[in-house]
Structure 1
């Protein structure tokens, strides 16, 4: 099969970390809004009311908007040929891992992640630092899909190498005779 005859690359899944990480920032936002709404205009000095609103805005930005932006900027895309990791807010980082390279996939789950059927998928490529898909939903399914895609990709590469081999069928390789 020639490279032109390869099937087109398709997106299998687009993932983010579980939205559970936004629970406490959202509770903080509700508390800040409630306290600000209750005390705004009731303080003795006008500067105190201004300071309350400015403090509430700053706390909302740091405590809710920043975690939301960080959650939105970390994405994992699984295609039929590779895994793409994108993260970063001010500095964007993109890493790719081709399925045909081969890797080891493990899932780590805490008791809270088990309740929500999420987990951290660790992809060990033999490099110094394994790639982590942190707290993804349906972690067991992600592991199964990655193993299947890696197996299919390696099988496809093996078939392609057999077809493009310069040796005729039955020819002894490397000068060995049968």
Structure 2
């Protein structure tokens, strides 16, 4: 195994800000109305919103993982454990694509194409240029050994 990475953690900035806002709003709304079940309704609504807007994005980020070995590239994602794998001896091209803020954060999308199948997109990889360079070096090694 060479490396195991997750997508860039900047995708968790918005859920973190939402968590802070929901916490502040929930605490602000507690005890504001004289209706007896008001506090329970506010806490339940706050809990549901935190689960949907904060916990699920975090779990989705945690469930996505890219693994690079000397023989293959593996992408694992989703709550159901979707797995895509490509052998390095079948790879024809590795492309680096950067959009928007990816350039500033030194991340990017690495496309691993095999010719026959559709390319595997490793989305928002941190240190994308390093990953791109390492994959290109791995692709060149077997040609030099022959």
**Alignment length, in residue pairs?**
146
TM-score, reference length from structure 1:
0.78
The 5-angstrom pairing of residues 81-160 of structure 1 reads 81-89=71-79, 91-156=80-145, 159=146
- 1:33 and 2:23 aligned: yes
1:15-42 deviation per Cα after TM superposition (whole angstroms, max 9, x unaligned): 1110111111111110000111122123
SS in 2 for 1:77: strand
SS in 2 for 1:115: coil
TM-score, reference length from structure 2:
0.94
Report if the CA contact (8 A) 2:7-2:126 is conserved. yes
2:58 aligns with one of 62, 68, 71: 68
> Any stretches of 5+ residues in structure 2 without a counterpart?
none
Runs of 4+ with deviation above 4 angstroms: none
Whole-Å separation in 2 of the counterparts to 1:99 and 1:119 = 20
1:68-127 deviation per Cα after TM superposition (whole angstroms, max 9, x unaligned): 0000001000011111111120x2112211112232111111131100000011111113
Structure (1 or 2) with the larger CA radius of gyration = 1
2:11 aligns with one of 21, 32, 36: 21
2:39 maps to which residue? 49
> Any stretches of 5+ residues in structure 1 without a counterpart?
1-10, 160-178
